[in-house]
């Protein structure tokens, strides 16, 4: 489709302008976290707010809506499975989402979440849920209002909020996958706790200088395929990865001398996000032949948080915690990290980095138990939003769920229902995407190994190209052309299921804990 009609060309131009504005905002935000001097904070807030306002104006401009309508009326553009038809479909989706929310509600939400964040900070410090409760009630009330505005009338309100992060996925569908998953992981964790012999993790605590960790992390990222010509790695308090724009993907991490695997797996996680961003069709060649740049258009954007998380978790867990990976990585680790690795074997490291040890804090949870934390939050926020659960009963419900799923007594709300920042930010519907990401990753991993029987051998040789190339062609190159569910079915031939993840966790963890399957 070399010659696009004028209304499509104009629409793409407007969309690219908004995308440039978003890139500007991303640079400002990245700089704020990395290099901005402390004294610049107030002024930066003013800059970010101006850019956000201009970006919002661009995304909700009447002219943009009219151009979308004109394209929708043009059969040449909307027929068939083409980038153009997907772009128009998704631009309509974005435009409606942004214009459906009344300005009054948006500003109420901004104010309520700003207050809630402050309240949450001090409530958490004091472990005083009662002090946070009225703010959470307000956020929930406005989130219901938001969901009513966004909803198409079918299904439950929560669906409309999930849809913001994971397009087209419904709470009932998630429940169908999460229910067996929760039972099976809970059983697995209990089996390990009751019958397993924990591996030695002493190697993880040996001190390694941050500069050495950084050099090793960068070496691993580059070896896996992350381009430092088109990206960076810097230090921030809270690690993240941001696709600033074409040719500019920035990830961050943090280094603690006492925990070298924190930064290694942190980098591999962000690198997974980064490889996705670097693989989007933004006018650069990735060995896929010529691909028209979709910069600024939906087909040039990541499809969902869940699919994004699948990429980060795959590299972090499926690759980074495999024996094949350590077969290749160990000599390099010995070179970069030094003597500290001298007595290790691929087997010993692999055992140390694969554990399933129930703990109270989600962000510190291991691969084996992480999803239990998420599924508890999914169930609770869904009930909070529908009104089935009152915020007054949240701490009890939280603590009961932790006892049931993880076998733990929650000693206080700071380590319980006050531990996460998400609800105070109004991010209802966000949590499930973490576990969806793990599920997608496991299902993709099973498929890519099925299609590449020698994948372990390749990884053990440090050849990550077959793996990356599979993701480039099955996931990255499509952007938002297909929904997450469609992508999953196209890539693996099956709808999302709990089985691959459970199978993989058992395969990894049982041998480590000396449990026969």
* Catalytically annotated residues: 270
Q: Which of 37, 153, 287, 342 binds a copy of itself (CB under 8 A)?
A: 37
Sequence length of the chain is 517
Cβ proximity to a copy of itself, 226 vs 260, nearer residue? 226
Q: Which stretch binds a copy of itself (CB under 8 A): 6-14, 32-40, 137-145, 444-452?
A: 32-40
Contact call for residue 20 and a copy of itself (CB under 8 A): yes
- When the beta carbons of 284 and 456 are compared against a copy of itself, the nearer one is 284
Figure out which of the listed residues 176, 284, 456, 489 binds a copy of itself, where binding follows CB under 8 A: 284
What tokens were used for 363?
């962000």
Positive or negative: CA dihedral 364, 370, 372, 373: positive
Q: Please, which residue, 40 or 180, has the CB nearer to a copy of itself?
A: 40
Binder among 5, 10, 17, 190 for a copy of itself (CB under 8 A)? 17
The only residue of 4, 5, 10, 31 in contact with a copy of itself, by rule CB under 8 A: 31
- Cα-trace Rg, the chain: 23
Q: What is the DSSP letter of 168?
A: T
Kind plus residue range of the DSSP H or E element containing 216:
helix 210-224
Task: Name the minimum Å distance from CB 467 to a copy of itself.
Answer: 22
Torsional sign, CA 254, 257, 259, 260: positive
CB of 11 vs a copy of itself, minimal distance in Å:
17
CB of 179 to a copy of itself, least distance (A): 44
Q: How far apart are CA 120 and CA 142, in angstroms?
A: 17
Interatomic CA distance for residues 235 and 267, integer angstroms = 11
Q: Residues 51 to 80: which contact a copy of itself by CB under 8 A?
A: 51, 54
* Residues 204-263 interacting with a copy of itself (rule: CB under 8 A): 227-232, 234, 244-250
Strand partners, 232: 250
Least separation in angstroms between CB 385 and a copy of itself: 37
Residue 107: CB atoms within 10 A of its CB come to 10
Nearer to a copy of itself, 43 or 125 (CB): 43
Which residue in the set 2, 3, 6, 42 belongs to the binding site for a copy of itself (CB under 8 A)? 42
- Beta-strand relationship, 231-235 and 248-253: parallel
Q: 298 or 500: whose CB is closer to a copy of itself?
A: 298
Residue 28 contacts a copy of itself per CB under 8 A: yes
Structure tokens at 117: 């964040």
Paired with 233 in beta bridges are: 251
DSSP 316: I
Nearest distance from C-beta of residue 341 to a copy of itself, angstroms: 27
- List Cβ neighbours of 325 (8 Å cut-off, separation of 6 or more): 319, 459, 460
Tokens of 384: 């909070």
Q: Min. distance of Cβ 398 from a copy of itself in angstroms? A: 41
For every residue of 67-79, which 3-state class applies, written as one string?
HHHHHHCCHHHHC
Interface with a copy of itself (CB under 8 A), residue from 44, 92, 97, 362? 44
For the chain, helix, strand, coil in percent to 5 are: 70, 5, 30
Q: From the centroid of its chain, how far is CA 91? A: 22
Size of the site for a copy of itself (CB under 8 A): 41
- At 265, list the tokens: 């797996």
Q: Residue holding tokens 């151009």? A: 67
* CB-nearer residue toward a copy of itself: 29 or 515: 29
**Contact with a copy of itself (CB under 8 A) among 5, 24, 78, 176:** 24
In the complex with a copy of itself, which residue's Cβ is closer, 31 or 489? 31
Whether 511 and 499 have beta carbons less than 8 Å apart is answered as: no
Out of 1, 9, 13, 43, point to the residue binding a copy of itself (CB under 8 A).
Answer: 43
Distance of alpha carbon 308 from alpha carbon 328, whole angstroms: 26
Question: How far apart, in Å, are the Cα atoms of 502 and each of 186, 188, 252, 371, 510?
Answer: 11, 9, 30, 11, 11
- Of 243 and 426, the one with the shorter C-beta distance to a copy of itself is 243
| Angle of CA points 39, 40, 44, to nearest 5° | 150
Q: How far is the CB of 283 from a copy of itself (least distance, A)?
A: 8
Q: Which of 167, 472, 470, 478 is nearest to 294 (CA)?
A: 478
Q: Is 287 in the site for a copy of itself (CB under 8 A)?
A: no
Q: For residues 48 and 421, which CB has a smaller minimum distance to a copy of itself in the complex?
A: 48
Q: How far is the CB of 282 from a copy of itself (least distance, A)?
A: 8
Region near a copy of itself per CB under 8 A, out of 43-51, 139-147, 304-312, 447-455: 43-51
Residue 57 C-beta: closest distance to a copy of itself, Å: 11
Which residues here bind a copy of itself, judged by CB under 8 A?
16-17, 20-21, 23-24, 27-28, 31, 34-44, 46-47, 50-51, 54, 227-232, 234, 244-250, 284, 295
């Amino acid at each position: 489709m070399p010659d696009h009609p004028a209304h499509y060309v104009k629409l793409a131009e407007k969309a690219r302008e908004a995308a440039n504005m978003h890139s500007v905002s991303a640079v400002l935000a990245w700089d704020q976290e990395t290099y901005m001097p402390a004294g610049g904070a107030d002024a930066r807030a003013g800059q970010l707010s101006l850019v956000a306002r201009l970006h919002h104006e661009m995304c909700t401009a009447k002219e943009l809506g009219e151009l979308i309508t004109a394209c929708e009326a043009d059969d040449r553009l909307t027929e068939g499975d083409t980038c153009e038809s997907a772009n128009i479909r998704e631009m309509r989706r974005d435009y409606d989402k942004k214009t459906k929310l009344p300005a009054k509600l948006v500003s109420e939400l901004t104010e309520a979440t700003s207050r809630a964040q402050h309240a949450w900070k001090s409530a958490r410090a004091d472990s005083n849920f009662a002090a946070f409760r009225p703010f959470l009630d307000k956020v929930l009330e406005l989130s219901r209002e938001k969901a009513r505005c966004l909803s198409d009338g079918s299904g439950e309100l929560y669906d409309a909020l999930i849809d913001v992060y994971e397009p087209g996925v419904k709470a009932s569908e998630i429940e169908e996958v999460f229910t067996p998953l929760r039972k099976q992981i809970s059983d697995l964790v209990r089996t390990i706790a009751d019958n397993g012999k924990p591996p030695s993790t002493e190697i993880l605590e040996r001190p390694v200088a941050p500069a050495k960790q950084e050099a090793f992390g960068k070496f691993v990222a580059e070896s896996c395929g992350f381009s430092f010509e088109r990206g960076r790695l810097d230090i921030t308090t809270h690690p993240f990865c941001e696709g600033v724009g074409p040719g500019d993907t920035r990830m961050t991490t943090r280094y603690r001398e006492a925990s070298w695997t924190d930064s290694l797996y942190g980098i591999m996680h962000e690198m997974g996000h980064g490889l996705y961003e670097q693989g989007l069709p933004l006018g650069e060649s990735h060995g896929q032949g010529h691909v028209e740049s979709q910069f600024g258009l939906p087909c040039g954007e990541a499809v969902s948080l869940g699919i994004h998380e699948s990429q980060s978790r795959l590299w972090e867990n499926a690759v980074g915690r495999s024996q094949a990976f350590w077969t290749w990585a160990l000599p390099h680790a010995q070179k970069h990290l030094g003597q500290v690795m001298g007595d290790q074997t691929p087997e010993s490291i692999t055992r140390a980095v694969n554990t399933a040890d129930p703990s109270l804090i989600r962000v510190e949870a291991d691969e084996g138990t992480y999803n239990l934390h998420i599924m508890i939050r999914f169930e609770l926020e869904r009930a909070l939003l529908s009104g089935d659960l009152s915020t007054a009963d949240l701490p009890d419900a939280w603590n009961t769920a932790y006892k049931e799923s993880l076998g733990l007594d929650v000693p206080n709300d700071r380590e319980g229902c006050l531990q996460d920042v998400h609800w105070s930010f109004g991010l209802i519907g966000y949590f499930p995407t973490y576990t969806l990401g793990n599920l997608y990753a496991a299902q993709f991993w099973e498929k890519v190994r099925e299609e590449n029987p020698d994948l372990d051998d390749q990884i053990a040789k440090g050849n990550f190209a077959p793996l990356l190339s599979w993701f480039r062609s099955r996931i990255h190159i499509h952007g938002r052309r297909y929904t997450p569910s469609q992508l999953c079915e196209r890539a693996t031939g099956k709808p999302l299921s709990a089985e691959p993840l459970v199978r993989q966790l058992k395969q990894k963890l049982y041998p480590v804990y000396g449990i026969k399957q």
